[in-house]
Amino acid sequence: MKRREFICKGAGAAALAGASLTIPGYSKLWGMNVPLAPYDLVAVKGGEPDVMFAKAMEALGGIGTFVKKGQTVLVKPNIGWDVVPERAGNTNPVLVKFVIQQCFQAGAKQVYVFDNTCDKWDRAYANSGIEQAVKDAGGKIAPGNTENYYQEVQIPDGKKLKNAKVHELVLQSDVFINMPVLKSHSSANLTICMKNLMGVVWDRGYWHRNDLNQCIADYCTYTKKPTLNVVDAYRVMMKNGPRGVSEADVSLMKSLIVSTDMVAADAAAAKLFGTTPEDVPYIGIADSMGIGKMQLDKLNINRIIL
């Protein structure tokens, strides 16, 4: 090969490779992670859900850091229960609506929302106020009520959970925003980011039968991880979770935690709740498996009090 030829061909190949990076979804192929944010975790306090999210995004360089033009986005709130927003059983609809609007502003092609609910799904979608929030924001609310939406995937790094059936939207979307609500939980002590992912798989009974805490951590090793985790701690169910019995269980905490690290977000949320990450078994397991970091003092945290 002549020198000139080599240069020309090499330049062409490099250009092609570069171009492929701009095509949505291709970044995965190149083993690239989402661009590192200036902070490992942002915690906001004292504002309305939408205001706090806007502040957090400001600190992280805008929603455009995570959502690119033409991408499809999956927002996965907790819509587990047929209860009203005041009961704090589900993610705050105000936050859901705002996040979807932000995604569209960043140029998202479509934003999908679903959950594999515990109560009857269509009632939970409606009563939680999330169905309306999604529609108002122009997103699409998708069902997760039957098995045929779920596809079998392998989880090679899982200890107890080696495979699972995962909702097609998780597999097909370019961006995956995990948006749990912080709640007390009768089985897992607390439900935050990692526990919220239980709502993207079909067979939850398997997790319960086979060491729940290990399975929660195991699933988080699956390659399709959330691009961003947004913990809604505006209203927090302090006891009787995850369903709650009445509004008496709820505390108005007016807080929000945002991080790309599920373990860090869960650890911070646990502290916010008034407990320690060590008291939430799956956080420790996930940390030891290298899924994320629970040592908050070693992280670069931006704390915003409004």
Partner 1 sequence: MHNRWLKKLRVILSLLFFLVITLLYLDFTGRIYHDVTLSLTHLQFVPSIILFIETGTGLALGFALILLLTLLFGRIYCSTLCPMGTLQDIFIYLTRRLSPRKIIFKHKKPNNWLRYSIIAVVVLSLLTGSLILVNFTDPYSMFGKIAHNLFLPARTLLNNIVAKGHSLLKLYYLYPVKWVPVNLAAFLLSFCWFLMVLILSIKRGRLYCNTVCPVGALLGLVARVSVFRIRLDKSLCNSCGKCSAVCKAECINPKDQGLDFSRCVGCMNCLSPCPEGGVRIEPFWKKEKVKITAFDPARRKFIGETGLLVAATFATGKIFAQDTIKETKREVIPATVPIFREHPVTPPGSLDRARFNSLCTACHLCVSACPTQVLQPSWIHYGLRGFLQPRMDYITSFCNFECDLCGKVCPTGAILELPLEEKKLVQMGIAKFIKENCIVYTKNTACGACSEHCPTKAVKMVPYKDKLTIPETTDKICIGCGACEYACPTDPKSIYVEGNPVHLLAEKPKEEKIKEITDYKEEFPF
Interacting residues with partner 1 (CB under 8 A)? 43, 45-46, 82-83, 110, 112, 118-120, 122-123, 127, 140-143, 145-146, 148-149, 168, 172, 185-188, 204-206, 208-214, 238-240, 242-243, 245-246, 248-254, 267-268, 271-272, 274, 281, 296, 301, 303, 305-306
Q: 83-110 burial, b for 16+ CB within 10 Å, e for fewer? A: bebebbbbbbbbbbbbbbbbbbebebeb
Our CB check for partner 1 shows the closer of 62 and 284 to be 284
What is the nearest approach in angstroms of partner 1 to the Cβ of residue 212?
A: 5
What is the nearest approach in angstroms of partner 1 to the Cβ of residue 251?
A: 6
Q: Is 172 left (phi over 0), alpha (psi -120 to 50) or beta?
A: alpha
> Which candidate, 188, 189, 196, places its Cα nearest to that of 170?
196
Our CB check for partner 1 shows the closer of 106 and 269 to be 269
Distance of CA 209 to the CA centre of its chain: 24
Our CB check for partner 1 shows the closer of 5 and 297 to be 297
3-class DSSP state for residue 195? helix
What is the nearest approach in angstroms of partner 1 to the Cβ of residue 113?
A: 10
What is the nearest approach in angstroms of partner 1 to the Cβ of residue 58?
A: 18
> Which candidate, 43, 90, 68, 63, places its Cα nearest to that of 272?
43
What is the nearest approach in angstroms of partner 1 to the Cβ of residue 196?
A: 14
Our CB check for partner 1 shows the closer of 62 and 251 to be 251
Contact between 221 and 171 (Cβ < 8 Å):
no
